[in-house]
Each structure stands twice: as structure tokens, then as C-alpha cells.
Structure 1
């Protein structure tokens, strides 16, 4: 597969998602009809107890209608012969519409799955036999040179967990794994849809690679970390098709509630005939079964599975892979968000914003020294210092014979040694103090106090201080001042955090900055709390403390050191660019590696729970309305006094039952778009959301059946015999 083909596949995925969203509901229903018909198998219907009762009722009435053809007088109870046929047909359509809701939800993921399968072709893999890490550079194979290890070409489908493969420029990566040697530019567009290549390398948090992506440059050695059939692409295909979808705890609990209500109404319906017989009335089996179907919560029973599948689909459309629906539900219940500062709250590229001099130092001196120390610094921070110096009028040219001093984790500073003997350094406060002491220069208390004042001032303003010092050609060492680096907070986050707060969710910023800097950025961003100078174990400890208080915690991570915290959190979102350990530990993977997407994931989880709650409220309210609509009409012929309760003025008991059963089927179809799209998300507290659901979907669930049944009855009464 060429690079162009990989890009085409990515475009196909995006196009299929857009097309599936833009198609009219009618077209989607028609295309999903064959799948809905296949779901009529009773072994499939059994998994949905409410709709299984409807299926049994439809089957029984079909048999009863056939029997009435041979003995109409004994079995019809004075009703038109075709009444049972009509009720049976409407019940079959009710089951069909329920199956359609699930089939449409599943069908929206099929286009994505088909596009993903294009990346799962069998490719040749160059497997290393007896890999020797110490002699890695000599892994060439007999045909490419001689070395202690050899390479054999095998199909990618034959690779096993732990195998080591060599992937060179132009090759497809044959399976999911970790780079154990080398660095390369990788085209991941076939998976993420992002055309820009990314850098993957060994020994860091960006060592994981995905099968089906292409190496564009250099050569890497990859250790396979997944068994055949369990690759990242395989999991995505299973996810979008819903093949491995299991019911979540909330769905199971709701199923138990719906089943209990069904049993209660079944007992009520069974008791109607004996009670009616006691007062000289009778009710036919057809009417009893129709009444049962109207009273049990068929609406939410039909849409429950579609709501869960649609929630998963919304995640996939945002390039997020969840291991199960349970993870999405947990996101909806989250009460604490742990957000890394760099890349999530701030852009991550700190920019120089000011030069602060110490007493007795000319401003131009620190500008020159800071700029020279950054001339060879290729980091965004270093380049921003040079840019700021030039804006202030400093002319800078490369100095011949100058020696760059790169930043290291040990020294925590960088700089430049000039041919004149002058040495310039910039770095952390403690690192510069240590360097000055090592050079044998004492620091006066006045200078120390002034420096610490500048550092504290920069930190309080939310900046990062870099201290600049120089050793002149005469050997005299001086601290010149402080460069202020400012973290730029992303726009719009403050408002989003306010929305989180309105929903009762605390936002916590995690940063390695000192407490003063962390506090300033936390205040600017609008988060509720922060963890300063955080180490991986600090995240884990914080999550455990929150969970011990009954809170649900969500966090993002990409490194192996994040794995324990990702595993401990209730919602752990691993970056696709991170290590395999991080992706295995989390229960979601963000293909775009965008840490801010955690906020979107929480909103999707909230929307899923809100949608399920709203439609459950509507369904139960429907049952109450249908009960008071049907029961008076059923008996008003035997007991004319009940006519006063027939507030809708339904024509007859038969028209009332048929109108109600038709409405019961139609409302499922009308609610499918809402189940798939979800109730509109609003950042409100749980109490306000509950109040809104009760006022809109509770009241609406009572009013709509009265209006709907009355309108249908106007047409049903025109049928002869009704």
C-alpha cells in the first residue's frame, strides 16, 4: 500500500463518517432493514426481555389469527375477524422498529469498519531471528550483509507476541509494537486521518507504533506487543461494529428495572379478565396482549441498545477508542479531572516575555547575554529569547569559534563559550547558583536577595524564571538577571472549566512547576486545584485519595510512568503517540493524542447518561398516559359510566386499543434520531438536568400519547367494524 493509498483510506474513513451523518433517516432505515430482519431470531430477541415479550405476543396473536379463520365465532369474542390480524401485524412492526433502531446505530459504524479493514491487509514482515540488542547495528540479514542475527521474510499474520521485526523506509509496520532501536518518521494517516507524519523513537514516551502505518524515513526495529487478531486496528473494527459490545452496569440495572415493570404489568393484565368476569364483562386475549404491550416500557426497551451504541459511535467519530461502554459511562459520572499543564492547559511552548535585570546591571547586558546563550538553542523557548532580543534592537550574528553548551538534565542549564574566554550560562535558579559557586565566585547577600525577588515575581506572574550569569574574560563571575518565560493558556479553557464546575466536576492541573508558578497559571486558567512539582507517584496518590472519598477520576497520560495512574483512574485516556504500557493501562486511547479531548470525552459520557435518562422518563410517562387512555375506553361499552373518564373521546374500545398499539410502534421510529444524536448537552448540575428531564420528557411523555392516540383514532374509526 502506497503512502497515497494510506491517505486515501484515511479520507475514506472521514468521508464515510460524514456521509453516514448526512444521510436522511429514511435512507438509513431502508439500508438497515435487512439487518433488522435478521435480528428477529428469538435467540437474539431473548437478550432484550421487554421486546422479547412483544415478540412472543406477536407470535401468539399470529397463531390466534390463523385459528380464527377456522373458528371465528368461538375465538373472535364478537370482534371483527381482521382485528387480531391488524394487532399482530402492528406488534411485528413494533419488534421490527426496535431492531431497526439497533441496526441503524450499528450500521453507522460499518463504513468505518470497512475502511479500517483496508489497512489490515497481510503485509510482508522482516522478522529478526535471535535478535541481539548489543549488536543491533549489524542486523542486516544474509542478503544485506553479515551479522550475528539474520532476517527472514514472513507474512504479518504469522507474527507472534514478542517477535522482533525490522522496518525500513517505505515499509508498512506489520503489527502493533514498541520501537526498541532507531528513530523514524511515520505516516499514521491510515489510522488517525492526520496527514502530517510523526516522529517515533525508542527509549521514550513516543515509542509505540501501530500496524498498518508506514515508515517514511530511516530504519527502526520493533518488538511486537499484540497477539494475532488483537491488534489496534482489530480492536477498532470490533468496536465500531459493536461485535464485542457488552452491556454496561447501568444498562444491566436498567434492564432489571424494565423487566420488573414488565412482570408487574403482566400480572396486572392477567388479573383483568377474572376481575371483569366477576362483574359480567369479558376481555379478549387479543385486547389483553395489546394492552400488555402498551403498558410495558417498550419505548426505552427498544432504544436502550441503540443509545449505548450511538454513544460509542460519537467517541469513534472524535478519534477515541474505548475498550467498553463502561468507560464511556464512567466518563459521564466523573467528578474529578486531572489535566497536565503542558499541552493541555497551556500550548507547551513557553515564550520569553521580559528581561529583568539585577541592581548595577545594564539592561542591554542581560539582553545580549541571554540572546548569546540561546543562539545555538533550538528549543522554542531558546528561539523565543533570541526573537525577543532582536525585537529590543539587539543585533546578533553567529560568532566564529564559539562553543555551544547544550542543556542536560544533570546541569539544568545551557549556554555559550566565546573565543574571547567569556562564558555565558542560563538555567534554573539553583543550577546557576551552583555554577557560580563552582567557579569560585561568592554571591553577595544583596545580589541573592535581588535575584530571589525577581524569580518570585516572575513565578507569581505565572512565568518560568531562567537566571542568566556570565564569566568575563577576566574571570569575574556575575549574575545578570532573570528571563521571564510565559506559558500561554489556551483560549476558551476558562469557560469550559466553568462548565465543568457547573456540572459538579473539579478540575485539577498537574505540573512540574514550582508552587508559585503553578498557582498563577491555575488562577489564569480557572482550574479548581493544582498539583505542583508533581511526580508520577504523586498522580497515583492523588487519584487514590479522591477515590477514597467516593469520587470518580479521569486523567490523560502517554508515558510508561503514567501507566499506574492510568490503570488506577476510572477513566484513563492514553495518547496514541505514547507507549504500549500506557495504552494497555488506560481504558481509552485518543488517536489524535490531544490531551484536551478529555473534556470532550466527559461531555460525551454525560450526554449518553442524559439521553438514556430522558428517554427512560419519556417511556415510563408514556405508559402512565396510555393506561389512563385505554382502560376507560375498554370498558365503557359494558359500563357506560366510565365514559366520563374517556377524556379523549375515543370512538370505541377497539379503536382505542388499536390506536394505542399503533402509537406505541410509531413513537419508537420517531425517537430513533434522538437516540442516535443524543439529547442536547448542557453544562448544568445533576439536579437541574433531572428537573429539566422531568419537565420536558416527563410532562411530554404524558401529553404526547394523549394527542397522538387521539389523532390516530380519528383515522382508525373509519375502518368498518371499529
Structure 2
């Protein structure tokens, strides 16, 4: 199984649970930070996370500043360089006493200031025994600087200061573009905390209610949760009936009925009834804290992959060192040339081996593809994961809010009456449900083409609602209500809807059963097309859901999935991804809820639906702005095109070495052909231009 370390989102999402979550049971006299109205205690780890994101932004600014300053310094270096002046025929015009010492001084500045990030990176790569791009750049600029400095102070040879300056400029520009395109720090912990309310209505011993900060809650406390409010902690209902929306936490699309003895999860949204809850879990034991822990553990199991340019740089470093050594050996030992000539050829080989275009080959493609993706509604957060998307073999979708719309819709209206039409039955039901805030009620109201005036409306907790419409007693009730009243329904269509796991409510008028309304989480019209295209690409399509098997089977059959996993609890989703990866498949996870976050991190590529929770977005490698599963197909196609461009650019940026290095070494010296540093620079410039143009073509080849 191929693991990875998320780039942007792994900037310390593996921080520990916040102080608020670690110790809700004890009042802390600590500072708080306000975040969208929520008081969140800031732990040292959270501060580390925030500082890391700030540090990343500072690094981008640092590369930007170094690039512009180095570029300004490059202008006089070019003007003062003897080879440039000779090439332009202005050698005598711009010469003045001590001009080479001024050139040396300016070049020293650009070497130390502009070259610092690469020299520092070289030290780190050597220390970890993982040479890469930094090693190649450091060797090239150091060789050019030391050799040119010796020439200024008496050694016979040519000066490479202008090549040193332009190489540093290009590499700084490349790294600036690259870092800017992937910049962004994870905020998943903060987003998780935002799901919790800032206060709780605690029932005091004297029977009064007191609003207390969330961190003061402890197991055993009794809290009142009013309709529409977020539940402040994991607990058990000890009084009242309601339905709770847990979709953002568990992936369950249906509002879950709650009564005395039912378990409720902190962060879920209470429906139409007021309930009294005994707090059972706070801090590290809470559901949200466990989700945080799962995300952290999944990320820690990843290993960071090297990018293509780094892998190319390793080989070019070997070529530069060995090519330089061989060149020096051949000219001094075999050809008996003087040291000055051999050294000049050696330095030319080592400088030319580090092509300017290599520093832009990958970053330019990344920048162009990132911009192209953004225009098409994809936000790339992790470049290496985006690169992996080209090799995907399986895509696992969350159901609720991803393949489906995450909200109820009317699928069927069944008429048991001879004197009413289906639309009239729906209208009677909508008239009653217009006064309810329940998601099922909203779906019925939305489906109806109108409603009538209602009198004496009354909610039947956990069972439905009733009222008078046109002087008729109308009830919209659940199957449980019918069972209580001993009313049996043997209709084939009703049984079919129920067997698929969908919801059925019944309409009674003046005590007589007139009809039934079937409701389900609506399948997105784009889902079937997306699955079909993915299967054409040879990619297996699967689904994870917290819903029951009947619902999962129905959705799977409806859109043509290869496989589905139903009744998957939140903490099991990442395990399912691991199981699929254990088959040897490269896996993408597409989701939108808090419960999807660990699975998004575990997958080789995590793709979040942008309209989902911020937690899912922050845990993903790629964010789809639109709620359109077809964009998964587009992102895979773009990843394949992008990788193709990267390979082409690496070939263009390094390919000329096959010709330039032997010529620089002097292979055709006896034939009168010797590649000068100036001609080598022209070849490098041409390679850079080709790389830039090729990257831009990606905009046309969508």
C-alpha cells in the first residue's frame, strides 16, 4: 500500500486535541481565542499549528523578496561581466579600474543572499543523506562562485558570475512559484471545534437554568437542548422526544429519532423537540476528539514522496560531480593540459549540468495546472497527491452529500383514495408540514405546488403532526403511529419503498387513511454519468455510508457502483480505505462530512466536496468547489495531462545535457569545437523558453 504525507493539511493537523477538548471537566483560568463566536481554548499544539502556517507564508514572502533583490543585483553583474561585454561589443566602453572587484562584490552578495536557501537546503539534504534539487543547485552556484573568485584574484580562466546570478534568479523564481501554488495551512482542529456550541444550558440543583461555557461541563451534568440548537456534549436523553440531524458527524442522511435513553453526539443539531440530556463524555473521550485522533494517526502513517524534479536532480548531481572529475582527470593526466584549462572545462561542465529550466520545469506546470483547475472548480491543496491521481484504480464515494444531495426529497406519492388525486394528497400533507421544521416536512412542502390554511396545528413528538384543513382533520404520521393505532398497510408499493430503506409517511383525513408519501435522500443526477465515465477509465467505483444496507443497495443499483459498504461507523471509514488499499489498489476517497475526514487523510488521494464541512475540506488533497461528482473524472484527466507535461518539461530541461556536457568537456576539441560558457548559456535559455511555452499549452489541452 502506497502511503503519503499530506502537504498542506499535514502542517500540524497532527496537533493534539485542544485544551478545551482535553479537560472540559475543570474550569481553567486561561486565555481564550474567539473564533466566529466560539470560545476555543488555545493549546500549545494549536499555537504550533498556527505558527507553522504563518511560517510557511513567511517562507513564500522570503523567496519573493530574495528573488527581486537578486534580480536587481543581476543587472549590474551582467553589465560588468567580461563575456557579456565581449558578446555585445561594449568591453572598452564599460570598463573602469576595479570593475572586476565590484563584480566580485555584487556576485558575493547574490551568492550569499540569493543562494542562502539553496545552501541551507544542501546542508539539510546532505545531513539526511537525501541529495536532491538543493544539492544540485548548491554545487553549481558554489563551483561557479569559487572558481570565478579565483579568476578575479589571479587564476587564469573565465568568469562565471553572470551564470551564477541568473541561475540563482531562475531557481528562486521557480521555488517562489512552487511554494505559492501549494501554500495553505490546515485548520481542521479549529473547524472541528466550530461544530460545538460556545455555551450549554446547564440545569442547576435548584431547578434553574444557567448558561455556562462549554469547557465547564463535566460528566453527570444535566443540560437542556432547545429546538434547533447544537447538542453541547456526548450524552443520553433523560427526558423529551425529538429528532437529531447527525449527517455532518455520522453520514446518516435521515434525522435520527431520539427519546428517553437515546444516545446523542456533541455537535449534532437538535430538531423540533426540547430535550434534557445527561452529559456522559467530554474532552478526549468525546466523538469529535476521537475523529481528531483518527485524522492525526492516519497522517502520521504517511511518508512524504519526492517530486519529479528532485529525482532528476539526484541523477544530475551524480553526472555533475562525476563528469567534472572525469573532465579534469582526462585533460590533466591523459591530455597533459595545464591546470587552468582543465579547471575551466571542469567548471563549465559542472555549471552547465544544472540547467536553469529544471528549476521551472515542474513549478511552471504546477502553477498552470493549479490555475486551470481553479477556473474549472478544483482547488489543489497537495501537489504530490494530485500527481498520484493519474494512477487511481479505485474511487470510494461517501453517499450523503456526495453521490446524493444530502437532503430528503419526495420520490413517490401513493393514493389509497378514490376521491383525491395524488397532488391533492400531497397538498393536504404540505399544508400541515408547512408549520414544522422537520427535514421530512420541508421536503413535502418543497414537492407540493401549494398549500391551504391550517387551524389547530399540533406536533405529535416523534410521530408526526396534525391540524384542521378545510374543516377536515388531517394527520401526517409515521408507520409507528399506524402500528400504535392498529392500522395495517399491505400496499405493494409502500412495502417496496420501505424495503429499500427509504422513509414513508402516511396521510389520514378524518381518521381515514388516504395516501402515503415516499421520501429518500435524492441521488444527484450527475452521479450516474460520473460513475459511468470512471468505469470506462478502468477505475472501480465504490461507496461508503453510515446508512442501512437497503438504502446503500438502492443507491448502488441506481447509479451502477461496483461495490458498496453500508452501516459503516465513522471510526471504521478509514479502516475500510485501508482494506481496499490492501488489495493493492491506489485509492481516492470523495467525501464532505466530518466523519469522512480520517478516510480522506488515509486515502492515497483525498477529494472533498466544497459545499461540505470545512473539516472535510481541510483534510483533503483536492477540493471540488461544485457538488458535482463528474468533477472527479475531470480532476483525474487533468492530473494525467499535468504529469505528461511534467515529463515533457523534464526531458526538455535536461535533454540538452546529452549534447552540452560532452561538448563542454571538450570531446570535439581536436575538431575545433569547444562549447563556451556563453553558448552553453544560450542553450540553457532556449531550454527554459521551451519549458515555459510547453507549460502554457496545458491550458489548451484540458
Per the normalisation by structure 1, the TM-score is 0.54
- The equivalent of 1:198 in structure 2 is none
Q: In 1, Cα distance between the equivalents of 2:357 and 2:686?
A: 10
Which of 436, 444, 459 is matched with 1:385 structurally?
444
**Is the Cα contact below 8 Å between 1:97 and 1:669 reproduced in 2?**
no
Structure 1 pair 403/280, CA: closer, same or farther in 2 (3 Å)?
Answer: closer
Change (3 A) 1:351 1:31: farther
The answer on 1:508 being equivalent to 2:546 is: no
CA 1:180 to 1:452, structure 2 compared with 1: closer, same or farther past 3 Å?
A: closer
Q: Secondary structure at the match of 1:339?
A: strand
Which SS does the other structure have where 2:465 is aligned?
Answer: strand
Aligned match for 1:344, one of 402, 406, 419: 402
1:480 aligns with 2:515: yes
Alignment correspondent of 1:664: 684
For residues 404 and 439 of structure 2, what CA distance do their matches in structure 1 show? 14
In 2, distance between residues paired with 1:595 and 1:164?
42
In structure 2, the partner of 1:425 is 476
Match of 1:470 in 2: 508
Q: Give CA deviations for 1:599-631 in whole Å, capped at 9, x if unaligned.
A: 777677666655543433333433224356667
Written as runs of structure 1 = structure 2, the 5 A alignment for 1:246-261 is 249-251=304-306, 255=310, 258-261=313-316
Superposition deviation, residue 97 in structure 1? 1.6
Alignment match, 1:134: 202
User: Aligned residue pairs: how many?
Assistant: 509
Seen in structure 2, the aligned counterparts of structure 1 residues 537 and 469 have a Cα distance that, compared at 3 Å, is: farther
> Is 1:55 aligned to 2:55, yes or no?
no
Question: Is 2:510 aligned against 1:451?
Answer: no
Aligned with 2:541: secondary structure?
Answer: strand
Alpha-carbon offset, residue 54 of structure 1: 1.0
Change over 3 Å in CA distance of 1:622–1:357 after alignment to 2: farther
Q: Which residue does 1:204 correspond to in 2?
A: 267
Partners of 2:383 and 2:455 lie apart in 1 by 62
**CA 1:661 to 1:290, structure 2 compared with 1: closer, same or farther past 3 Å?**
farther
**Partners of 1:148 and 1:345 in 2: CA distance:** 40
Q: Residue 284 and residue 331 in structure 1: after superposition, are their counterparts in 2 closer, same or farther (change >3 A)?
A: same
| Matched-pair contact (CA < 8 Å) for 1:321–1:589 | yes
Tell me which of the two structures has the higher relative contact order, counting C-alpha pairs closer than 8 angstroms and 6 or more residues apart: 2
Q: Helix, strand or coil: the match of 2:410?
A: strand
Which residue pairs with 2:165 in the alignment?
Answer: 92
Note the C-alpha offset of 1:314: 8.3
Provide the rounded CA distance (Å) in 1 between the counterparts of 2:205 and 2:689.
Answer: 63
Partner of 1:43: 119
Counterpart mapping for 1:244-323 below 5 A: 249-251=304-306, 255=310, 258-275=313-330, 280=335, 282=337, 284-295=342-353, 299-300=357-358, 303=361, 322=381
Partner of 2:88: none
The residue that corresponds to 2:487 in the other structure is 441
Deviation at 1:671, TM superposition (A): 3.3
After superposition, where does 1:143-182 map in structure 2 within 5 Å? 180=232
Matches within 5 A, 1:251-650: 251=306, 255=310, 258-275=313-330, 280=335, 282=337, 284-295=342-353, 299-300=357-358, 303=361, 322=381, 328=386, 334-352=392-410, 354-358=412-416, 363=421, 366-367=425-426, 370-378=429-437, 382-383=441-442, 385-386=444-445, 388-390=447-449, 396-405=451-460, 408=462, 414-418=464-468, 422=473, 424-427=475-478, 432=479, 434-443=480-489, 447-449=490-492, 451-453=494-496, 464=502, 466-470=504-508, 472-473=510-511, 478=513, 480-483=515-518, 487=522, 489-491=524-526, 496-497=530-531, 500-501=534-535, 504-511=538-545, 518=552, 521-522=555-556, 525=559, 527-532=561-566, 534-536=568-570, 539-555=573-589, 561-562=595-596, 564-566=598-600, 568-572=602-606, 586=619, 609-627=643-661, 634-636=666-668, 638-639=670-671
Indicate if the aligned counterparts of 2:592 and 2:613 stay in contact, CA closer than 8 A. yes
For structure 1, list consecutive stretches of 5 or more residues without a partner in the other structure: 1-25, 77-83, 117-127, 139-145, 152-161, 166-177, 182-201, 208-222, 226-246, 640-651, 684-722
Residue pair 1:32, 1:100 contacting (<8 A) in 2 also: no
1:370–1:531 Cα change, 3 Å: farther
C-alpha distance in 2 between matches for 1:603 and 1:35: 42
Change (3 A) 1:598 1:179: farther
Structure 2's unaligned 5+ residue stretches are 1-63, 75-109, 126-133, 187-197, 218-229, 234-264, 271-281, 285-301
Contact 2:394 2:588 in 1 (8 A): yes
1:51 is displaced (CA, Å) by 1.0
TM-aligned CA deviation for residue 568 of structure 1:
3.8
C-alpha separation in 2, matches of 1:489 and 1:137: 50
Q: How many angstroms apart in 1 are the aligned matches of 2:283 and 2:648?
A: 45
2:24 maps to: none
1:657/1:494 Cα in 2 relative to 1: closer, same or farther (>3 Å)? Answer: farther
Helix, strand or coil for the counterpart of 2:403?
coil
The offset of 1:582, in angstroms, is: 6.6
Deviation string, structure 1 residues 432-466 (Cα, Å, up to 9, x no partner): 1x4323212345xxx3445325667xx6xxx9563
Partner Cα distance (2:426, 2:434) in 1: 12
Partner of 2:59: none
Change (3 A) 1:402 1:603: same
TM-score by length of 2: 0.56
